[in-house]
A = this chain, B = another copy of it.
Amino acid sequence: MATTARSKARRRSKAAADATAADSTAADTTATAAAAADATGSTIDERVRVGARRRVVLEAAAPEVDAGRFPAKRVVGDVLLAEVDAFGDGHDHVAGVVRFRHEADEAWTEAPLRELGNDRWVGEVPLTRQGRWHYTFEAWVDHWDTWRSDLAKRVEAGQDVAVDLQIGASHVRAAAQRASDASRLEAYAAVLERGGEDAVAAALGDELDKLMRGVPDRTHAATYDRVLDVVVDRERARFSSWYERFPRSASPDPKRPGTLQDLRAELPRIASMGFDVLYLPPIHPIGREFRKGPNNSTEAAAGDPGSPWAIGSAEGGHTEIEPGLGTLADFAQLVADCEASGLELAMDLAYQCAPDHPWVAEHPEWFRHRPDGTIQYAENPPKKYQDIYPIDFETDDWEALWLGLKGVVDTWIERGVRIFRVDNPHTKAFPFWEWMLGEVHRERPDVLFLAEAFTRPKVMYRLAKLGFNQSYTYFTWRQERWELEEYLRELTSPPASDVFRPNFWPNTPDILTEQLQEGTRGTFVARLVLAATLSSSYGIYGPAFELMESVPAKPGSEEYLDSEKYQVRWRDLTTPHSLEEVVRIVNRARHEHPALQRNDTLRFHHVDNDRIIAYSKRSIDGTDTILTIVNLDTYWRQSGTVYLDLAALGIEEDETFSVRDLLGGATYQWKGGANFVELDPAVLPAHVLHVRGHGHRDEHDFDPYDG
């Protein structure tokens, strides 16, 4: 029975082989024959046949987000380290390439894969432009390299290699067929054919090897199952320092509310602190129906300004400006002044409506209606938010809704805005975000969206996958060393780090943590330093932060007392106890030190006192290293020994190195991994240390695969 199967198969296979060598008519005939054979169930399926002689396996590519369903994220200038498992059967060697192209290019570029060990390979993709890039892998059995490596072993063992040199010559002759200039290869083939010591020397020499590597036999190359994507943003997506400011509180005169013009006057102060993004809560007309009064009371007095997030009134909706703040002309001037000050303006994008928002009348079908004829206001039973109508993403009119919502973004982009801070994105439908962010980024890859979602972890990561460029985090509530370390490890490793760019905020208008309520000046400084050095993007809600405001609306609440969300606040920004100078120093360190401008090189170092946390970051080229040490205790001086992972700092075991404190100014000479530190929150709770070895280490590239 087996014999019959064999001889039948043999005949069939002969036909197929002939067809391969022949023209397309013959190939068609074979296909027909194969289809006929398939019907009898006794031959091999066409899908199998295609890959039958692809002996190399490619699997487990990285970065790869959800099997390629979403792109990974990088910024311009990054080199994408594209990894893959590649191996063949038996002991034959493998070679391969990463193939890549920018979405706007037709042609693919290739870079060689190099082996990292344990069948893991990497290729480097220089990401030179914003936008979407595609990449995939190809690999093949490298008969030349296998043969050459075996030859070396045979020669070393003193074996007769006469026949082997003939085999090598045939590899070279075949390669000459594939080469554009065959002459050198043909000459080498002749040398190998002549045999003897010259042939061995040529075979094991560099020149022939280089020629051969240039024309590999890729007939049976395997390709990776998927083409993967990476979205390349501008650098601010990775490195940004945010300052949040309510314009209506920016008045220099305590007797009247602030305006956009007042905010223009404050720009020098904000810029001088070293921020690069100025984020404004909504500046649109505020609804009058069910307007909230001070401290979130349901009764608003005549002059109460209401919550900026209750958007829309007779004066207009999401594309208009609250008349009390100014005009579109004022806004244009603010945008221009920001640019001149090295600041970018970030707009709030809160997709919800006050009851008197124009959309409520124009598009009643975008909201949910109740049997009593009213429109459903926002609720989290038993809590009611009657000044806000949420949007109904299940509406039959969803297409017009989506286009309308995107229209808001388009309008502000046209007015010069490139950054949006999106309010509560987790309460809007995911398909909408994927579409909207995708459309905007396709047209304008330089537009950045920050997701304000403090919700369940998987929801937050999903929003990042859908296209948000940055995301709020749980940092605000991570206060103990173990939880900071655990959370940062999660954020700075795949899968999270491939898609989720954290933005750390010690406070927001919604969150005055219990730690800050009970904290000292040292607590505010420690939280500032942690946010600004653990994460390459961070922000503060000011001037509440630098003035160390700490009184909650009531005991047990994380709301501020007399919150700016519901009333205008005036402060004396010139008070000498302000943290402005500390903020300035911290932001200067961030600007001057590339180590602090990324998160992927973060390493924690052990301290034998768990009230002290220590961690380092390095620039990719290894020339800049920052070691940060923070006392996490609110009140007490803490001391301990830091056990440094010297390799992570680029320092040799026996090397003397200097650490200069960018906060306090002192410089210390250290040697070896164990170093004593003492930090007093009443003085300065942190060291931000610039680490410099005295050896000649600066030229060493940082190796992301080391440690």
Residues of A in contact with B (beta carbons under 8 Å apart): 1-3, 5-6, 8-10, 12-14, 16-17, 20, 43-44, 48-49, 51-55, 57, 59-60, 66-69, 85, 87, 89-91, 118-119, 150, 153-154, 156-157, 159, 163, 166-167, 170, 220, 225, 319, 363, 370-372, 374, 379-382, 390, 393-394, 396-404, 406-408, 410-411, 414, 426-432, 434-435, 456-459, 462
Q: Is the CB of B220 within 8 A of A9?
A: no
Q: Is the CB of B13 within 8 A of A399?
A: yes
User: Complex: how many Å from CA A431 to CA B380?
Assistant: 56
Q: Is the CB of A13 within 8 A of B382?
A: no
Q: Is the CB of A52 within 8 A of B431?
A: yes
Pick the 5 closest A-B CB pairs, nearest first. A2-B407, A157-B382, A67-B67, A9-B403, A13-B400
- Looking at the assembled complex, report how far the CB atom of A508 sits from the nearest CB atom of chain B, in whole angstroms: 20
Q: Is the CB of A5 within 8 A of B404?
A: yes
* Residues in chain B near residue A67, CB distance under 8 A: 67-68, 225
With contact pairs A55-B393, A167-B370, A410-B5 given, residues A89 and B154 touching in the complex (Cβ less than 8 Å): no
* Residues in chain B near residue A91, CB distance under 8 A: 380, 427
With contact pairs A55-B393, A381-B157 given, residues A431 and B398 touching in the complex (Cβ less than 8 Å): no
Q: Is the CB of B371 within 8 A of A167?
A: yes
Which chain B residue has the least Cβ–Cβ distance from A55? B429
Task: With A53-B431, A119-B458, A163-B370 given, name 12 new contacts (CB 8 A).
Answer: A5-B407, A5-B410, A6-B407, A8-B403, A9-B399, A9-B404, A43-B399, A57-B462, A89-B429, A119-B456, A157-B382, A167-B370
User: Complex: how many Å from CA A345 to CA B94?
Assistant: 38
* Residues in chain B near residue A16, CB distance under 8 A: 399
User: Complex: how many Å from CA A495 to CA B150?
Assistant: 35
Can you show 27 pairs from A to B with CB atoms below 8 A apart? Answer: A1-B407, A2-B319, A2-B407, A2-B408, A2-B410, A6-B403, A9-B400, A9-B407, A10-B404, A13-B398, A13-B399, A52-B431, A55-B393, A57-B430, A60-B66, A67-B68, A69-B225, A118-B456, A119-B458, A150-B381, A154-B381, A154-B382, A157-B381, A159-B381, A163-B371, A163-B374, A167-B371
Q: Is the CB of B319 within 8 A of A166?
A: no
- Looking at the assembled complex, report how far the CB atom of A71 sits from the nearest CB atom of chain B, in whole angstroms: 15
* Residues in chain B near residue A370, CB distance under 8 A: 163, 166-167
Which chain B residue has the least Cβ–Cβ distance from A412? B2
* Residues in chain B near residue A402, CB distance under 8 A: 9, 44, 52
* Residues in chain B near residue A85, CB distance under 8 A: 458
- Looking at the assembled complex, report how far the CB atom of A486 sits from the nearest CB atom of chain B, in whole angstroms: 15
Give the contacting residue for A430; candidates B55, B157, B456; CB below 8 A. Answer: B55
- Looking at the assembled complex, report how far the CB atom of A145 sits from the nearest CB atom of chain B, in whole angstroms: 13
